[in-house]
Amino acid sequence: MEARLMASIIQIRRDTASAWTSANPTLAQGELGLETDTSKLKAGDGTTAWTSLGYYTLATAGFLATSTIGSTVQGYDADTSKTDVAETRSAAINMADQIVQRPVLKDYGEVKIAMSAHDVDLELGNVFTYTLSGGQTVTFTNPPASGTAGSFTMIVTNGGSATLTWPTSVDWPAATAPTLTASGVDVLFFTTCDGGTIWYGTAVLAMG
d(CA 153, CA 190): 6
pLDDT score, position 3: 61
Find the angle CA(106)-CA(112)-CA(116) to the nearest 5 degrees. 175
Residue 50: Cβ within 10 Å count: 18
The answer to whether the beta carbons of residues 182 and 172 sit under 8 Å apart is no
Under DSSP, is residue 152 helix (H, G, I), strand (E, B) or coil? strand
The pTM assigned to this predicted structure is 0.58
What's the pLDDT band for 208 if we cut at 50, 70, 90?
A: low
Query: Pick the residue with more confidence: 167 or 133?
Result: 167
Q: Tell me what pLDDT residue 61 has.
A: 44
pLDDT digits (tens, 9 = 90+) for 78-97: 555 556 667 777 788 887 77
**175-203: b or e for each residue (b if 16 or more CB lie within 10 Å)?**
eeebebbeeebbebebebbbebeebebeb
